[in-house]
Chains A and B, each alone.
Chain A
């Protein structure tokens, strides 16, 4: 098992300050600070809304005080790997909706996207500004050894979590200013500016003058609402809901106290299906009637583009090394995790023979739901899951159970190792930008590998060091 900080009795590069700090500070004091942090999160309203499950509808994501650290060299590789992936994903999505060269070349089976619910025929033949489809990309990365980083998942639709990146840093600098005194930790608060630059760069053809950008939220009952409002505020743009917008003559306007005001770029945080009741779900009250038509005729830019979901299910994920090679002629900087496609007879046979060792995932699933973690599952759970896989093998993939790295974490009894993963956010406009940092998620339960916030995972501040 790889620990991010400890190499036996030695402290790894980058963790010197953290290790000295943990040695010098009293655990009770850390617990007090932890409570302080939670009180601040609660007061500011940085909560995760969970409605319809009973209990407190506004919950805190557990925040852990011990940061996760990347050295400059480690970050350099992540930076290159993530940007490479973002580039390849955008080229792939463009190809899927246009010529389909990768299918003609036989690199990917055509039905991999044709049978995908996220494929939107409306997008066929359309190229958005700068040919960018997924402008905000969240790449989930895990680590198993000193040089062993793997991409676990690509999130090309509306990846969330970036508000925690900024708020976690803000709370750390408030509670422990001394940790930042030597100026070694690279700042993350440039993200909102970079996002605004990205949005402006992809303004639609019909935009006149300075592009006006907005953030479109499903509303304040959405679990990520705080993030939507935070991002809008940090960028200095309006936070709108669907009913604030309307389409007239192929252009989008928002309703204001001084009359209609034109909108050029919509950073939407609602799903494709709800974007436009005229094109997609007619019962959607979250979207804007006529939005897709305005989009496809160059009246507005939707960020991320509709239909980007074709590239982030686990069936496409398996082919990412081939996709990178095909479009960029490069080898992946960050490798995939070996993945068995249950649609393939040989893979399926192997996977079913090794259910107690593998992790099974639904091809279209996300958020840690619908998974089977073989090594910790009971016989009954495995039998039940096997039946599900056999019924519809195409819907499942299996991967070896990775021994995710651990990071020191404050728990009841003191500081103890807990498993973590990492999600950096790449921004794609005229160029690709990556804020030095990201969201480190931590499984708060001992031994647990599930870091999703919907499953009780917590978050940490993530440091990228200058040198």
Chain B
């Protein structure tokens, strides 16, 4: 048993920490893609605007999003106080949630998070200029890894642990789906591009940003291809940033909660269906459906699941029940 508010905070700490890292990884995709050679006479594709679109920033930027450059995109993704998903905001929210239920996390977790936040407060857009950007990205990844280390290394495997894991998995599903979708926005499929070097390097950048390049080549022993990367990042159950891996993680976490509480909620079945549907899919079926369409569906399904979890464990504010004894008067 734990306070619903505490469970919710734990869930969001998991999400925000992952989000900070994933936004940094998104920026890494654009950084890598924008360093690729361009073919003469072809319009430049704008990696930064694609990443912003994938990050859901179209509303904030408006039509300007097509002209976004590294400077404006990095400001938005890392620093913009108006962007609720910026790295700095994510870290601040994660730390605020932890502070609001200070002792539901171990001291190691809290101190790592508090340290992440106090360093984040010192960062400025100037730190992200030029060669500062890869350093900034590495710093976010290292801090997030440190939190995960403290989390897996010191937390008791109880409901608190499960709620953080749920948040982490939900966020990673969302982010891997969005990461893959960047490619859709960068380059609408044109036949002449398929198998061209630009296409190849873009898929490669994507794998690198997902920390999946070595895993991919080692496990697939194959060249990087659209088909291969999509299959790997969606369906490879052994790769920790794939969608399948994280849906399995959700299934395991709700299973732990069920074992812990001795009861299940309606969302348990929803998670299990999500996981088994995915396991039954082939990459051919995904491509046939359309990659973009499939990814959009995953993002929506994931969102719906997060809402169901919130309702099941009382995260959402419950309307105050009028005092029945007073109603009678």
B-contacting residues of A (Cβ < 8 Å)? 42-45, 219-220, 225-226, 229-230, 232-233, 238-241, 243-244, 246-250, 254-258, 261, 278, 289-290, 293
Contact with A along B114-136 (1 / 0, CB 8 A): 11001000000000000000000
- Pick from B100, B103, B318: contact of A232, CB under 8 Å: B103
Question: Is there contact, CB below 8 Å, between B7 and A257?
Answer: yes
Known: A43-B115, A255-B318, A256-B314. A229 touches B103 (CB 8 A): yes
Interface residues of B toward A: which range? 20 to 34
Question: Is there contact, CB below 8 Å, between B321 and A243?
Answer: no
How many Å lie between the Cα of A8 and that of B56 in the bound state?
Answer: 72
Q: Whole-angstrom distance from the CB of B207 to the nearest CB of chain A?
A: 37
Question: Is there contact, CB below 8 Å, between A240 and B323?
Answer: no
Q: In residues 298-329 of chain B, which contact A (Cβ within 8 Å)?
A: 313-314, 317-318, 320-321, 323-326
Q: Whole-angstrom distance from the CB of A55 to the nearest CB of chain B?
A: 13
Residues of A contacting B115 in the complex (Cβ-Cβ under 8 angstroms) = 43
How many Å lie between the Cα of A392 and that of B118 in the bound state?
Answer: 47
Question: Is there contact, CB below 8 Å, between B5 and A220?
Answer: no
**In the complex, given contacts A230-B102, A243-B5, A254-B3, what are 12 additional A-B residue pairs having Cβ atoms less than 8 angstroms apart?**
A43-B111, A220-B99, A220-B100, A220-B102, A226-B102, A229-B103, A239-B103, A244-B4, A248-B321, A257-B4, A278-B323, A293-B323
What are 19 A-B interface contacts by the 8 Å CB criterion? A42-B118, A43-B114, A220-B96, A229-B101, A229-B103, A232-B103, A233-B102, A243-B5, A244-B5, A249-B324, A255-B3, A255-B5, A256-B1, A256-B2, A257-B4, A257-B261, A257-B314, A278-B323, A289-B323
Cβ-based interface call for B161 (8 A)? no
Q: Whole-angstrom distance from the CB of B9 to the nearest CB of chain A?
A: 10
9 A-B pairs with least C-beta separation: A233-B103, A229-B102, A220-B100, A257-B313, A255-B4, A258-B1, A290-B323, A256-B1, A257-B7
Residues of A contacting B320 in the complex (Cβ-Cβ under 8 angstroms) = 246, 289
Question: Is there contact, CB below 8 Å, between B4 and A45?
Answer: no
How many Å lie between the Cα of A255 and that of B320 in the bound state?
Answer: 12
How many Å lie between the Cα of A45 and that of B96 in the bound state?
Answer: 12
Question: Is there contact, CB below 8 Å, between B317 and A248?
Answer: no
A-contacting residues of B (Cβ < 8 Å)? 1-5, 7, 96, 99-103, 107, 110-111, 114-115, 118, 159, 257, 261, 263, 313-314, 317-318, 320-321, 323-326
How many Å lie between the Cα of A241 and that of B114 in the bound state?
Answer: 22
Question: Is there contact, CB below 8 Å, between B5 and A241?
Answer: yes
Residues of B contacting A256 in the complex (Cβ-Cβ under 8 angstroms) = 1-4, 314
Question: Is there contact, CB below 8 Å, between B111 and A239?
Answer: no
- Tell me whether chain B's interface is mostly helix, strand or loop, or mixed: helix
Q: Whole-angstrom distance from the CB of B281 to the nearest CB of chain A?
A: 32
Residues of A contacting B257 in the complex (Cβ-Cβ under 8 angstroms) = 257
How many Å lie between the Cα of A293 and that of B329 in the bound state?
Answer: 14
Residues of B contacting A219 in the complex (Cβ-Cβ under 8 angstroms) = 100
How many Å lie between the Cα of A254 and that of B318 in the bound state?
Answer: 12
- Pick from B1, B321, B323: contact of A257, CB under 8 Å: B1
Question: Is there contact, CB below 8 Å, between B4 and A44?
Answer: no
How many Å lie between the Cα of A233 and that of B106 in the bound state?
Answer: 11
Chain A, residue nearest B257 (CB) = A257
Chain A, residue nearest B114 (CB) = A45
- Pick from A230, A244, A248, A278: contact of B3, CB under 8 Å: A244
Residues of B contacting A45 in the complex (Cβ-Cβ under 8 angstroms) = 99, 102, 110, 114
Chain A, residue nearest B159 (CB) = A257
Chain A, residue nearest B97 (CB) = A220
Chain B, residue nearest A254 (CB) = B3
- Pick from A238, A243, A248, A278: contact of B324, CB under 8 Å: A248
Q: Whole-angstrom distance from the CB of A187 to the nearest CB of chain B?
A: 21
Greatest chain B CB density within 10 A among A45, A226, A278 is at A45
Greatest chain B CB density within 10 A among A42, A220, A226 is at A220
Chain A, residue nearest B103 (CB) = A233
Residues of A contacting B159 in the complex (Cβ-Cβ under 8 angstroms) = 257
Q: Whole-angstrom distance from the CB of B138 to the nearest CB of chain A?
A: 23
How many Å lie between the Cα of A45 and that of B4 in the bound state?
Answer: 24
Q: Whole-angstrom distance from the CB of A36 to the nearest CB of chain B?
A: 15
How many Å lie between the Cα of A44 and that of B101 in the bound state?
Answer: 14
Q: Whole-angstrom distance from the CB of B8 to the nearest CB of chain A?
A: 9
